[in-house]
Amino acid sequence: MIKLKRAYDSSSNDDGIRFLVERLWPRGVKKTTPRLDAWLKDVAPSTGLRQWFSHDPAKCAEFQRRYRRELDGKREALDPILKAARRGRVTLVYSSHDAEHNNAVALKAYLEAKMSRRGGAQRSA
Protein backbone atom coordinates (compact mmCIF):
# COMPACT_ATOMS: atom_id res chain seq x y z
CA MET A 1 0.00 0.00 0.00
CA ILE A 2 1.30 3.44 -0.93
CA LYS A 3 0.22 6.55 0.98
CA LEU A 4 1.01 10.22 0.54
CA LYS A 5 1.89 12.75 3.23
CA ARG A 6 3.19 16.30 3.24
CA ALA A 7 6.65 16.88 4.66
CA TYR A 8 5.10 19.42 7.04
CA ASP A 9 2.79 16.83 8.63
CA SER A 10 3.87 14.67 11.55
CA SER A 11 4.94 11.12 10.91
CA SER A 12 2.95 8.30 12.45
CA ASN A 13 3.50 4.63 13.17
CA ASP A 14 1.18 3.59 10.34
CA ASP A 15 3.29 5.42 7.71
CA GLY A 16 5.55 2.41 7.20
CA ILE A 17 8.66 3.16 5.15
CA ARG A 18 8.87 6.90 4.41
CA PHE A 19 10.53 8.24 1.26
CA LEU A 20 10.99 11.92 0.48
CA VAL A 21 10.31 12.16 -3.26
CA GLU A 22 11.40 15.74 -3.94
CA ARG A 23 14.51 16.99 -5.74
CA LEU A 24 14.79 19.92 -3.30
CA TRP A 25 14.60 19.74 0.48
CA PRO A 26 11.23 21.13 1.72
CA ARG A 27 11.44 24.80 2.70
CA GLY A 28 11.36 25.50 6.40
CA VAL A 29 11.85 21.85 7.43
CA LYS A 30 14.96 21.01 9.42
CA LYS A 31 16.82 18.02 8.04
CA THR A 32 16.60 16.40 11.47
CA THR A 33 12.85 16.92 11.86
CA PRO A 34 11.03 14.46 9.59
CA ARG A 35 11.37 10.72 10.09
CA LEU A 36 12.55 9.54 6.68
CA ASP A 37 13.98 6.22 5.59
CA ALA A 38 15.46 7.73 2.42
CA TRP A 39 15.50 10.85 0.28
CA LEU A 40 15.00 9.67 -3.29
CA LYS A 41 15.92 12.76 -5.32
CA ASP A 42 16.26 10.71 -8.50
CA VAL A 43 12.56 9.79 -8.63
CA ALA A 44 11.57 13.46 -8.54
CA PRO A 45 10.76 15.27 -11.79
CA SER A 46 13.69 16.87 -13.57
CA THR A 47 14.36 20.51 -12.75
CA GLY A 48 13.12 21.56 -16.19
CA LEU A 49 9.85 19.65 -15.86
CA ARG A 50 9.28 20.88 -12.30
CA GLN A 51 9.86 24.49 -13.33
CA TRP A 52 7.64 24.14 -16.41
CA PHE A 53 4.78 22.64 -14.36
CA SER A 54 5.05 25.19 -11.54
CA HIS A 55 2.11 23.43 -9.81
CA ASP A 56 -0.35 24.82 -12.37
CA PRO A 57 -3.47 22.59 -12.25
CA ALA A 58 -4.15 23.38 -15.92
CA LYS A 59 -0.83 21.69 -16.84
CA CYS A 60 -1.38 18.64 -14.62
CA ALA A 61 -2.35 16.10 -17.29
CA GLU A 62 0.60 17.04 -19.50
CA PHE A 63 2.91 17.12 -16.47
CA GLN A 64 1.85 13.57 -15.55
CA ARG A 65 2.43 12.35 -19.11
CA ARG A 66 5.92 13.90 -19.25
CA TYR A 67 6.77 12.71 -15.74
CA ARG A 68 5.74 9.13 -16.56
CA ARG A 69 8.10 9.27 -19.53
CA GLU A 70 10.92 10.39 -17.21
CA LEU A 71 10.06 7.64 -14.71
CA ASP A 72 10.26 5.00 -17.45
CA GLY A 73 13.98 5.78 -17.62
CA LYS A 74 14.50 5.60 -13.84
CA ARG A 75 13.73 1.96 -13.10
CA GLU A 76 16.69 1.55 -10.72
CA ALA A 77 15.76 4.64 -8.72
CA LEU A 78 12.21 3.29 -8.26
CA ASP A 79 13.35 -0.10 -6.91
CA PRO A 80 13.53 0.90 -3.21
CA ILE A 81 9.92 2.07 -3.28
CA LEU A 82 8.65 -0.95 -5.20
CA LYS A 83 10.49 -3.42 -2.95
CA ALA A 84 9.24 -1.72 0.22
CA ALA A 85 5.66 -1.55 -1.12
CA ARG A 86 5.67 -5.29 -1.82
CA ARG A 87 6.60 -5.89 1.85
CA GLY A 88 4.21 -3.43 3.45
CA ARG A 89 3.08 0.16 3.76
CA VAL A 90 5.03 2.98 2.09
CA THR A 91 4.51 6.72 2.47
CA LEU A 92 5.70 9.10 -0.23
CA VAL A 93 6.56 12.40 1.42
CA TYR A 94 6.19 15.58 -0.65
CA SER A 95 6.34 19.32 -0.03
CA SER A 96 3.69 20.79 -2.33
CA HIS A 97 0.82 22.73 -0.77
CA ASP A 98 -1.53 21.36 -3.45
CA ALA A 99 -2.48 17.83 -2.38
CA GLU A 100 -4.00 16.93 -5.76
CA HIS A 101 -1.61 18.39 -8.36
CA ASN A 102 1.92 17.34 -7.47
CA ASN A 103 4.64 14.88 -8.37
CA ALA A 104 3.88 12.52 -5.46
CA VAL A 105 0.31 11.97 -6.70
CA ALA A 106 1.64 11.20 -10.19
CA LEU A 107 4.39 8.96 -8.80
CA LYS A 108 1.94 7.01 -6.64
CA ALA A 109 -0.32 6.36 -9.66
CA TYR A 110 2.67 5.31 -11.75
CA LEU A 111 3.96 2.91 -9.08
CA GLU A 112 0.55 1.37 -8.40
CA ALA A 113 0.02 0.77 -12.13
CA LYS A 114 3.48 -0.80 -12.38
CA MET A 115 2.80 -3.03 -9.37
CA SER A 116 -0.60 -4.17 -10.66
CA ARG A 117 0.85 -5.00 -14.10
CA ARG A 118 3.73 -6.88 -12.53
CA GLY A 119 1.38 -8.74 -10.17
CA GLY A 120 -0.94 -9.65 -13.07
CA ALA A 121 1.98 -10.99 -15.09
CA GLN A 122 3.12 -13.11 -12.12
CA ARG A 123 -0.37 -14.56 -11.58
CA SER A 124 -0.75 -15.54 -15.22
CA ALA A 125 2.71 -17.13 -15.45
Using the 8-state DSSP alphabet, how is residue 33 labeled?
S
What are the 10-residue block averages of pLDDT along the chain, 125 residues in total?
Answer: 95 95 94 90 96 95 97 95 96 95 96 81 38
Residue among 1, 31, 33, 29 nearest 15 (CA): 1
- 60-73 pLDDT tens trace: 999 999 999 999 99
Sign of the torsion angle spanned by Cα atoms 97, 15, 34, 86: negative
